[in-house]
Structure 1
Amino acid sequence: MVSFLTEAGKRVAARWFTQILLPGLLLAVIAVSGWVLGHAHAFDVDRLASAAERGAGRKPVRLAVEVAVVVVGAGVAGTLARGLGTGVRRFWLRERALLAPRLRRARAVEAAKKRGTEPVAAYLPARPTWLSDRLRLVEVRVRAQYWFSAALAWPRIWLLTSEEFHAPVRNARARFDDACALAGWAVLYLVVGVLWWPAVVVAVVAFVVAWRRARVSLEEFATLVEAAIDVRWRDLAEALGIAVQGESPTPAEGALIDDRLRKGS
């Protein structure tokens, strides 16, 4: 038990160091450099070197205090970035918006016409972002095929699958969370851009990379969830005491599974 707690503590410390403290220190260095250089002298290396020499000449106690303040500030910035990442995740996965995704719907319809297929209305974009729509599609497609809710079935399917399957799902979800955290860092760099304009460029690049990583990781996560339901839905039905005779549930059988998952509510 002690060895387990020790190992867990080491992992938490390593994760805190690599994902919070180090990026926070980088942000702090850029913020201080931006404060010294400003917009007018954005790439004046001599100006930055002179400021560094003046700082090195300070009394050791004062210098130690300033370093400690920077380290604490870096930790606070890292925690703030993760919090902003949570806000970004909620924004990306929001279900409603003032304006319907008309442009993405038009593109989807046009792409279906080019393939010579009739677009399925339920599969067309209906939410503000691609990420939110991708999760919605899991629910829509599972209900269309099996007549029960994917959102309700997924926790039970998770209990019926092995750790060998859990690992890639956790990894995909962790990469998505990290992408959202990177977007949070982008917001902080955008704030630093008030002092030093190159930070705005860093913020834009970081946000684009975060969005791309979020799309890739969420696509993998959604695909794994849907695949698990495809191969384990019968095990779920049997665990619930519902016998399904055919290759897939009938509407009545799916409704029975759905009713059991909802506890008859």
Structure 2
Amino acid sequence: MSGFWSGLTGKLAERWLTLLVLPGAFYLAAATTAHTLGWGHALDLHRLTTVVTTRTKNPTATTTGGQIVLLAATLAGAAAAGLAAQALTSVVERLALAGDWQTWPRPLRTIAEQRTNRRRQAWTTAHTSYHQLLAAAEARVVADDAQHPPTEAELTVVRDERYAAYRKWFRIGPEKPDRPTWSGDRLHAVTVRLDRDLHLHLPIVWPYLWTVLPEPTRNDLTTARTTLTKATTLTAWALLYLPLTLWWWPALPLSAAIALTGWRRTRTTTDTYAQLLEATTRLHLTTLAAQLGIPHTGAPTPALGDTLTHHLHTQPPAPSPH
């Protein structure tokens, strides 16, 4: 038992150090630099070194008690900054995934609705253009093939045009947009595809499916979801660095670089998590059916999706006769 508690304590300390203290300490260093140098001496390293050296030679800071207090204050400040970033992460993730944007207060809901409509119109245009190009390319190949076989160069041009149109379409969203952000639509696309292909309502089935998944698969899903949260945490840190711009202009490019990194990682990790979520559902749906005693052989079918959704859906109570 003592080994279990020591291992648990070690893991908690490691997570506390990695998630809170280290990023928070870097933030405190940036804040101290901003307060020390200001706009007028933003890149004056000599001035920064001189001020820091002078402060460390202060008699209070050279005593053992003073150093202990300074270390404790630094750790507390770093942890506080880390906790602020963690709290802000939930807000950033809610904005990035936008699953409940229709319940947001105005004017956020109005902005989200306008952005969703713009994305939907752009997606419809790109989707139509892709299929028109695909049909025209196929017709041209068939017409050329009736007279003479198309050359490899001609086929390459057709493929390149089609691939360029597909990339333009997918950059907007894999399915018709329903949310104001790409990451939100990427996750929503999983539900849309499963409903279209298998008649499966994922929010109803997923809690039951999770319980029958093998441990390695659940670990992979948990890791992917944690990685997505860490990506949005970067954006949260960028928002915390932004106010430092009032005292120190280099905080602006620093905040922008962190925000750009967080944005790119959020898109990448969301795509990875969505792919894993959809693949897991398709691969283990028959396992859930077997656990529930629903007879089925072969790959999942729309009939199985209908059956599972209806079987697991909680029916509302019947109206009172009075």
- TM-score normalised by length of structure 2: 0.75
**Distance (whole Å) between structure 1 residues aligned to residue 93 and residue 243 of structure 2:** 19
Could you give the per-residue CA deviations for residues 71-116 of structure 1, whole angstroms, max 9, x where no partner exists? 2111100111111111100111113223142443344334432354
The residue number in structure 1 matching 2:50 is: 50
Equivalent residue for 1:176, pick from 210, 213, 228:
228
Structure 2 residue identity aligned to 1:99: Q
**Distance (whole Å) between structure 2 residues aligned to residue 31 and residue 7 of structure 1:** 35
Deviation at 1:132, TM superposition (A): 0.9
2:30 is equivalent to residue 14 of structure 1? no
Q: Report if the CA contact (8 A) 2:204-2:313 is conserved.
A: yes
Equivalent residue for 2:130, pick from 87, 111, 114:
114
Equivalent residue for 1:260, pick from 299, 311, 315:
311
Comparing 239-248 with 150-159, greater Cα deviation is found at 239-248
Structure 1 residue identity aligned to 2:33: S
Query: Where do 5+ consecutive residues of structure 2 fail to align?
Result: 102-111, 136-168, 317-322
Q: Report if the CA contact (8 A) 1:34-1:195 is conserved.
A: yes
Question: Which aligned runs of 4 or more in structure 1 are off by greater than 6 angstroms?
Answer: none
**Distance (whole Å) between structure 2 residues aligned to residue 62 and residue 2 of structure 1:** 35
Comparing 242-251 with 178-187, greater Cα deviation is found at 242-251
Relative distance call for 1:10 and 1:93 in structure 2 (3 A) is: same
The residue number in structure 2 matching 1:224 is: 276
Q: CA RMSD in A?
A: 2.4
**Distance (whole Å) between structure 2 residues aligned to residue 215 and residue 206 of structure 1:** 14
Structure 2 residue identity aligned to 1:130: W
Alignment coverage as a number of residue pairs: 263
Comparing 101-110 with 146-155, greater Cα deviation is found at 101-110
Comparing 35-44 with 3-12, greater Cα deviation is found at 3-12
**Distance (whole Å) between structure 2 residues aligned to residue 56 and residue 149 of structure 1:** 62
Could you give the per-residue CA deviations for residues 219-246 of structure 1, whole angstroms, max 9, x where no partner exists? 1111111111111212222322323467
Equivalent residue for 2:178, pick from 94, 116, 126:
126
Equivalent residue for 2:212, pick from 127, 149, 160:
160
Deviation at 1:63, TM superposition (A): 5.3
Could you give the per-residue CA deviations for residues 144-168 of structure 1, whole angstroms, max 9, x where no partner exists? 1111211222222222221221222
Query: Where do 5+ consecutive residues of structure 1 fail to align?
Result: none
Equivalent residue for 1:203, pick from 236, 243, 255:
255
Deviation at 1:186, TM superposition (A): 0.9
- TM-score normalised by length of structure 1: 0.90
Relative distance call for 1:197 and 1:130 in structure 2 (3 A) is: same
Equivalent residue for 1:72, pick from 72, 76, 83:
76
**Distance (whole Å) between structure 1 residues aligned to residue 298 and residue 76 of structure 2:** 62
The residue number in structure 1 matching 2:157 is: none
Identity over aligned pairs, percent? 29
Q: Report if the CA contact (8 A) 2:245-2:251 is conserved.
A: yes
Relative distance call for 1:237 and 1:54 in structure 2 (3 A) is: same
